[in-house]
Structure formats: C-alpha cells, structure tokens
Structure 1
Amino acid sequence: MTPVANAAAPVDRRAPEQSGAPIDCVLFDLDGVVYHGPEPISGAVEGINFLHDQSIPVSYVTNNATRTAEVVADHISTLGISTTPAEVTTSAQVLAGKLAAKFGTGALIYLVGATGLATALESEGLRVTRTLDDGPVAIAQGLDPEISYQRIVAACEAITAGIEWWATNPDYSMVGPKSRVPGNGAFIDMLARLTGSQPTVVGKPSPHMMEFAAHRCGAQRPLMVGDRLDTDIEGGNSAGFETALVLTGVHDIHDALHASSELRPTYILPSLRSLPTLITGSAQPASDETSGSAACQIVDGELRVDESAQDSVSTVESALRLAWEAMDRGEDVAPGNLPRRIHD
C-alpha cells in the first residue's frame, strides 16, 4: 500500500465518548456503504434519511478526485437521498484547501489530474498549469485516466527538482469493467520509486480528510462509517473519531478480529439500517462491558459465541473486544464460530 507521507501517526483505539454528548455528525464512505455503482445498498436510504429527519449533519468523504462534489451529490440524490454539494468532501477539495492555506490565493499549481481536482484548485483561488515552464510552486496529483508518458516524465523531473509534491489519495487500485485497474496510488508508487521521494497525501487513511469534513459540519463528536478497515476506519481512528465498520462492503467481522489496533472499529453495523439504534444510544460501543459479553468466551484459543446470540451486534462487539484484549496480551485467537457478517 502506498505510504501516507506527512500524515499524523495512527493513534491507539480510543475509549468511546463518555461525556454523554450525542453524535452530532456522521461521515460516510460511499462505495460499499451507500451504494454499489448506480444502486443504493439495502438500508442506506432509510439510515441516512433518519439522520436528515433528526437534523444530524452528514458528510460523504470520498478519495475519488476525478469527480466534482456536484457530480457526487447528484449521484447520491438519484438514490433517494437528497444531497447538496456542501455535504460532499472529496480528496481534491482537501488538497486544494491545504495548498491554498500554505501558498496563498493565486499560487500556481502544476496539475496532474482530472476535472475534479482542477475545479477544486480553482475554487480555492489557485491557478492551474500543465507546464513546468510557468514556474509552479507545487504539484497536485490525482488520478488522471488520460495521463501520457510525457506527463509522467515531467512529473518526475519536477519532483527531482524539489517542487513540493502533494497527492489526493493513496488508493492503489479500483474495480474496472473487467478487472482491477490502477488507482492514484499506483502512480504515486511509480513516481516514488523513480524519484526517491514521497508526497504529502491528504486522502484516507490520512486524518486530513476526516478533520476537514468534521470541521465543515461543526462537529464535536463525529462518527466515521466505512466498509474498509485500512482507509475508512484507520482514517477515522487517526483523527480521534469514533468509527463504525458497516458489513455491506469489503471487510467483515473476521477482518476486524485480526485488525491491528489502529484499524479496529468502535462499532459494528450490519448495514446503515442500524444507524438509528446506534444514534439513539441503545447500541453499545465494542469496548464497553455489555450483556453480550456473557454470550461469548475464548475456549482453547477460539472464540465461542452462543448460537442464540450470533446475530446480536452487542455480542459480536463484545466478542471482538474480548479477542482484542487477549491478542494484545500476545495470545492467538481464532474466529471459532464467530460469524463473518450479521444482518439487521
């Protein structure tokens, strides 16, 4: 995986909020959480519209820097979830904001990327160039599906010359029509190998994006919801937020069991349909002692969950916490009969 340069180091999994303050903002990943391609994931519309009904702000945080916030918002709205561009945070916006803060309005930025990144840079009052002859102060790199060999060579020359190198996200691959295809992280890796340098990366799992989105919402106790431990959950944890792994995408309960401390979620959600239960406080964090703890134990190095409670969120969270504590003491814990996914 492409390293995230200049990002805050991951922090240990935090104790959940004890002050009694309510969750006042929910940040969502998109693919695998809200939708699969053009279709909404079961439970997503109900869960997010519940937040709207409760006037709880939401923000959709996406590493995709090729699309503008307007395009992303339109896509979500077509699913039956009314969304404005202000509710979308892209890695391109975060990168543009960081560059504007550092170099000031009017600074000249060498663009390696598509429309989404160009629009974000210009929205921050930055000037965009595609030639090094103009004397840019920094390189802004996002995925460019039309990149040429000559542009790659130019980027290598600029990085080697010492121009600051910033990138939107470290996602190494994406799902294409017939296979996995290169993402921005693949191009970062190539440029890093060629130049011996590393960029400042603002997208997940860097905390920059989470902090940017939560600040826009004015949140005091944000929750990050995602389907990937190594981007969504790690990013939320690194920002010091509570996190929820939703089981409708890439990673499942067994993945969470074996996750290192900085990738462990605070909560488990079968789908976004379970959001009301979590938000209203009837869900318990995975680190709390719950009634579910009586339904799970470790026997001969394996988790054993009472069959009558295998679909219980609280029991699964208690089982994970029990296993994590044992693993942190150096013990090996196998999944046993712990389910991979549960349903709401």
Structure 2
Amino acid sequence: MISASAAMGFGLARSLWALRSVAKSDACSLILRRRHLSSTSGHLDLGKNFAFAFDIDGVLVRGSKAIEEGKQALRLLQEHKIPWILLTNGGGKTEAERVAGLSRELGIKISEDQFIQSHTPFKRLVNTYDKVLVSGGDGDKCRHVAQTYGFKDCVTSVDLIALNPTIWPFHRFTAADMKRAQSLSDSPFDAVLVFNDPRDWGCEAQIIIDILTSQAGKFGTKNPTLDQTVPIYFSNNDLLWANEYHLPRFGQGAFRTSIEKLFLDYTGTPLESTIIGKPFLFTYEYAHSFLNEWRKSAFGYTEDVQRVYMVGDNPASDIRGGNSYGWSTLLVKTGVYQEGDHLDAKSKPRATVANVLEAVLYAIEHEHELSLRK
C-alpha cells in the first residue's frame, strides 16, 4: 500500500520528468511544464523546508529587459507558495522604487519584504554616524535613499563642488546639478558610505581621499601623517556585472580597487574599509534572517528554513558567498558567467544550468528526492 503523501510524491516525480522532456526553446512548452507541475503537486506543501534567494541582474533581468525564464520561474514559485527573496548587489534607488520597477518588468507583485539590495544593511549604521558622505548613483537618488534610512546629515559631491569648484576642476556637474546642491554644516564627516557605482570616478575619488586623510573628518584639512581618520564602507564588491552588452561591465568593486590603490600610493599605508554585499558574511546573515521573517509573515512558517537555494550569475559574489554561508548554489548562464570560465574551489556551484527557470526546477526536483528518503 502506497501512502497518500508517497503517491503525491510520485506524481511530482512524473511531472518533473515531463518538465525535463519538453523542448526548452518553446515558450508555449514552458507554460505546459508549469501547468503539468501544477496539476500533480497542488496539495504538496512545497515551500515548508526550502526557499530561494535570487540575484537580479543577469538572472531575472539584463539591463532594463526582463529575462523571460525569470518571469516563468517567479510565477511558478508564486503559484506553489514557495518562498523567495531577491538579493542583489545593485542599488542606487530606494527599495520601494526598485520593487515597483521590478514588479512592472517581471509582471509579478513583489513586496519590499522580499527585497534586499546592496546598501539595505546600511540601515544598521544610522545610529552610529551623523554626517556622512553619500557616494555614487544618479543625481540625488542615493542621498534620498540615505535620508529614508534615517541618516541625519547627508552630503554628496555636488554640495562640495558647488561650494568650491576647484576641489575638482574637471567635474561634469551641470548648472541643474549645482542647483540641487545643499548647504553644509560645520560638523566633521563621520563616515564615507559608497551606496552605488559613482558616475564620475575622478571627482568622487578626490573627495573621498580628501575626507579619509583629513584632520578628524574636517573637510579641507589634511593630517600631517596622512593617517586614515574616517571609516569607509562599500556596499558591494562586484568587479563585474551584466547588462544588455554582450560582455560583463566593471562595477563598484572596480571603483573600490581604484580607491585602495590611490590611498596606498598617496599615504604609503593600506586602506582600511568595510565591504558588505555579496559575497560577504554580513550580507548573508542579514538575508537569512530577512528571509525567515518573510516566510513567517507571508506563509506562517514558524521554524527557520532548512535549505536556501542561491541562484546567481556571478561566481565571485553569488556563488562564493552562498557556498561560504552554507546555502546551496545554482549558477546560470544568462549573465556574468560564460561557458568555459574558470571557477576556483570556493566559487563552484552545486549545479550550473541554462537559466533561472532550470535552476528552480532543479531545486524542486532535489527537494522531491529528499522527501522520498524520509
């Protein structure tokens, strides 16, 4: 006699076999695959023991265009009530703004409670620092993000250039940019926070080095020994990221490398910095706690998730970080990673698949296999 749960499991196994047998290039086939899964596994509590964390760029979207398999994957998880969050090294906008845009692009409602971008953990620094240099992003967007987090005194490069353009005479700020400059307080800088990739590396680098080597954070001063007097935080370390262009592009990690080199050449000592975002432990700890809170509020699960599948396109951040934290990692071929790229031991995924839909199907099949062993 086969139990009801076992019979349901065999039904899921058959459906997964069917999913694998359909032509992957046919969009209609993808819909049939989802429908077949729905018809045979509707009574299984698929999301009780596992969940997903997805990178965004190169996994669900490329630039401003959604990847079709990303839409399919998220709808599949939504239909079967399998928990998932988005964990990205992107940023530069408020969480609310980014979620609204992604919801439109992917055709599915996404909650802010499912979304972590690179600088989201900066919220924990609000009570530590008062006056901060907010670096990176378009226009005044990152200042706005910092203010929504609760930072009290947020300064950007345009504020300093408007006060004295000779700080960096090669700046590219327009007259309209200068009009949004804000007045400066006399208090010293407490920290430098790099929220996003700067648009004018030369200007940002000069101002950042000036602040780091100032006398106790007082802009326009220089301490005689060129000691680092102000802490600096980078919100992610991605050397590369994927957009519509066919080759990966430099990211914030490249800017960090340039700041480190400039600081070392100028002062003779290595820069001391704090880097968050993937692949660093701080961000994965934050994300794991965030995911459990989301599962509890959205699905009523009171026990911590047993397994998390990190789906990403960047071996150096998504996969390395997930492996280090103990998550299962799935690497897709729709972004930074290209077939034949060398992977070191720490950046090797559990599996490499064509796209995010295949990653989701792989994980569900694995979960089914685990359920049959019990």
Question: Which TM-score bucket, shorter chain as reference?
Answer: 0.5 to 0.7
1:216 aligns with 2:302: no
Match of 2:79 in 1: 53
**Is residue 281 from structure 1 mapped to residue 366 from structure 2 by the alignment?**
yes
**Is residue 126 of structure 1 aligned with residue 141 of structure 2?**
no
Alignment deviations for residues 262-299 of structure 1 (CA, whole Å, 9 cap, x no partner): 111123333232314522536779xxxxxxxxxxxxxx
Q: Structure 1 residues 110, 250: CA separation in 2 closer, same or farther (over 3 Å shift)?
A: closer
1:266–1:77 CA distance, 2 compared to 1 (3 A): same
CA distance in 2, matches of 1:248, 1:176: 10
- Alignment of 1:193 with 2:261, yes or no, is yes
**Higher percent of residues as strand:** 1
Match of 2:332 among 243, 246, 270: 246
Structure 1 residues 159 and 34: CA distance shift in structure 2, 3 A: same
Cα distance in 1, alignment partners of residues 92 and 243 from structure 2: 15
SS at match of 1:110: strand
Equivalent AA in structure 2 for residue 281 of structure 1: H
* Corresponding residue of 1:84: 111
1:74-95 deviation digits (Å, cap 9, x = unpaired) = 232122222123322111112x
The structure-2 alpha-carbon separation of the partners of 1:151 and 1:35, relative to structure 1 and needing over 3 Å to count, comes to closer
Q: Mind listing any 5+ residue stretches in structure 2 that lack a counterpart?
A: 1-45, 161-183, 214-227, 265-270, 293-303
Q: Distance in 2 between matches of 1:149 and 1:39?
A: 30
Distance 1:135 1:230 in 2: 36
Q: Secondary structure at the match of 1:91?
A: coil
Distance 1:235 1:26, change over 3 A: same
Separation (CA, whole Å) in 1 of partners of 2:197 and 2:355: 33
Distance 1:277 1:193, change over 3 A: closer
Structure 2 residue matching 1:134: 3-state secondary structure: coil
- Distance in 2 between residues matched to 1:34 and 1:229, nearest whole Å: 16
**Alpha-carbon separation, structure 2, partners of 1:22 and 1:159:** 48
Alignment of structure 1 residues 258-337 onto 2, 5 Å: 258-274=342-358, 275-281=360-366
Q: Using a 3 Å threshold, how does the CA distance of structure 1 residues 176 and 216 change in structure 2: closer, same or farther? A: closer
- 1:153 matched to 2:206? The reply is yes
CA contact (8 A) 2:240 2:336 kept: no
Task: Tell me which amino acid in the other structure corresponds to 2:346.
Answer: E
Task: State the Cα deviation string for residues 163-213 of structure 1 (Å, max 9, x = none).
Answer: 011011122355678787653223222221122304211022223223222
Q: 1:38 to 1:239 in 2, by over 3 A?
A: same
Q: More helix per residue: 1 or 2? A: 2
Aligned to 1:111: 134
Corresponding pairs, count: 260
1:40 deviates by 2.5
Distance in 2, matches of 1:72 and 1:113, equals 16
What SS does structure 2 have at the residue aligned with 1:249? Answer: coil
**Matched-pair contact (CA < 8 Å) for 1:93–1:117:** no
Q: Which residue of 1 aligns with 2:190?
A: 137
Change (3 A) 1:153 1:236: same
TM-score (norm 2): 0.61
Q: Highest CA radius of gyration, 1 or 2? A: 2
Q: Secondary structure at the match of 1:136?
A: coil
RMSD of aligned C-alpha atoms?
3.0
**Which letter maps to 1:266?**
R
Partner secondary structure for residue 157 of structure 1: helix
C-alpha contact 2:314 2:337 (8 A) present in aligned 1: yes
2:239 aligns to what? 172
Q: Distance in 2 between matches of 1:59 and 1:247?
A: 20
Tell me the secondary structure at the aligned position of residue 98 of structure 2.
helix
With 143-152 and 30-39 compared, the bigger mean Cα shift is at 143-152
Alignment check: 8 A CA contact 1:92 1:168 kept? yes
1:65 equivalent in structure 2: 91
CA contact (8 A) 1:62 1:91 kept: yes
Judged with a 3 Å threshold, the aligned counterparts in structure 2 of structure 1 residues 180 and 43 are, in CA distance, closer, same or farther, namely: closer
Q: Distance in 2 between matches of 1:63 and 1:77?
A: 18
Check 1:61–1:116 CA distance in 2 against 1; reply closer, same or farther (3 A cut): farther
Percent of residue pairs bearing the same amino acid type:
24
Structure 1: segments with no counterpart, 5+ residues:
1-19, 286-344
Moved more, 180-189 or 53-62: 180-189
- Identify if the C-alpha distance between structure 1 residues 66 and 252 changes in structure 2 by more than 3 Å, giving closer, same or farther: same
The one-character-per-residue Cα deviations of 1:126-145 (angstroms, maximum 9, x if unpaired) are 22234695312211013354
- 1:288-333 Cα offsets, whole Å, 9 max, x none, are xxxxxxxxxxxxxxxxxxxxxxxxxxxxxxxxxxxxxxxxxxxxxx
Q: Residue 52 of structure 2 contacts residue 309 of structure 2 at CA under 8 Å; is this kept in 1? A: yes
Partners of 1:23 and 1:223 within 8 A in 2: no
Contact 2:93 2:145 in 1 (8 A): no
